[in-house]
Amino acid sequence: MDIQNLESQYKSAELVYKQFLQEILNQFTSLLKDENIELGFNLESRVKTFDSIQGKMVRNGLEIERIEDINDLIGIRIICLLKADVIRVRKLIRDNFNIIREEDTEERLSESEFGYSSIHYEVKIKSEWLHLPTFKRYEDLKFEIQLRTASQHIWAAVSHKFQYKREADVPKPLKRSINRISALLETCDNEFERIINERQIYVDSIEVSDYADDAELDVEMLQEILKEYLPTKNKGGNEKYSDLLSDLHFFNVKTKSNFIELISNNIEQAIESDTENVKEYLADELMQASFPSYYLERAESGVFFNHVGLIREMLRTAFGDKEVSEYLRKRHGQSTLT
């Protein structure tokens, strides 16, 4: 094995590896956004340093002649909030990449090993991508994907720090505590799934008319009222309902009847304001440059405010533009249009 030759191979290709990794991150970010999948952490990524490669070879007695034979040279880690999101990301990977190898490490854990795992993929880009000039040079490159939940990530980090991968690795006085932590983290994943399912059953079964007029607003009731009383076309993809609930409480709009009254009395003015903002935005290039790009897509479809933004316009009409804008600046750090 010629270490100098291997290092030379690495250095000549390192820039391409880093550029490839950035392209993959861009693609994954776009794919996750399109599928409305919210991660528990930012995407993690790396190109292995040559020192890391050499250290692994020495530790494991590996003989490597070609740098491209290293399967995990380029890697990303995807950490999902929920098991259900892991299932969705697995489908996304299958649909958009050529899978060379797939392994769920939980399947090879014995009873003497702790049950936290991740799913590992070795993949290449699909042939359709190679028609694009920017991807053609990456035809022979592969990369590793690690996929896990946030709870699994916590356990992986702890077990890596202490090197407690099997029960035999753990000092006897610590075994009970370690087993308890492992079980609690696994329970977290299962309980998150259960509450998500229970919430969905509740949301699917409830209607605005089921709530008493004096029922205090909560996030689920607020969403149902918005869905029933506001135009569907204004609904945004990531509305901050909890923030809006705090805004409403500040202005003493606390019950179902308070909220519906606010909407009924002010919706006409809010829709007019929405229409005027669309016209102003489309006519002002400076304004377009100062707002995120998705505003242009919405404006071209005839809407400016999302549901939260429309309600804040109603608060301005009902309680005064100056008062509401000042409150929003203090609470949210800006005038908060949406």
What per-residue confidence (pLDDT) applies to 114?
53
Listed by start position, the domains of the chain span 3-184, 211-332
What per-residue confidence (pLDDT) applies to 288?
84
- Report the percent of the chain where pLDDT is more than 90: 52
Cα–Cα dist 123/24, whole Å: 11
Please give the helix or strand (H or E) that residue 102 lies within, else none. strand 97-104
pLDDT digits (tens, 9 = 90+) for 251-306: 999 999 999 999 999 999 999 999 999 999 999 888 888 888 788 889 999 999 99
Q: Identify the band that residue 26 occupies on the pLDDT scale cut at 50, 70 and 90.
A: very high
Distances (CA, A) of 166 to 107, 114, 170, 189, 273: 15, 6, 7, 21, 63
What per-residue confidence (pLDDT) applies to 273?
96
Structure token pair of residue 331: 């609470």
- Report the percent of the chain where pLDDT is more than 70: 92
Cα–Cα dist 311/75, whole Å: 44
**Residue that the structure tokens 């000042």 belong to:** 326
Contact 226, 262 (CB under 8 A): no
* pTM metric for this prediction: 0.68
Contact 236, 306 (CB under 8 A): yes
**Residue that the structure tokens 């932590």 belong to:** 181
The reply to whether CATH 3.30.460.10 applies to domain 3-184 is: yes
Higher-confidence residue of 270 and 163: namely 270
Mean pLDDT confidence for 208-231: 95
Out of 106-115, 172-181, 210-219, least confident range: 106-115
Predicted confidence (pLDDT) at residue 1 exceeds the cutoff of 80 = no
Strand arrangement of the beta sheet that strand 97-104 belongs to: 44-47, 74-80, 142-149, 119-125, 97-104
Predicted confidence (pLDDT) at residue 248 exceeds the cutoff of 70 = yes
Q: What is the mean pLDDT of the chain?
A: 88
What per-residue confidence (pLDDT) applies to 336?
52
- C-alpha R_g of the chain: 26
Contact 234, 308 (CB under 8 A): no
pLDDT digits (tens, 9 = 90+) for 303-325: 999 999 999 999 999 999 999 99
Three-point CA angle 150, 332, 293, nearest 5°: 75
Cα–Cα dist 284/273, whole Å: 16
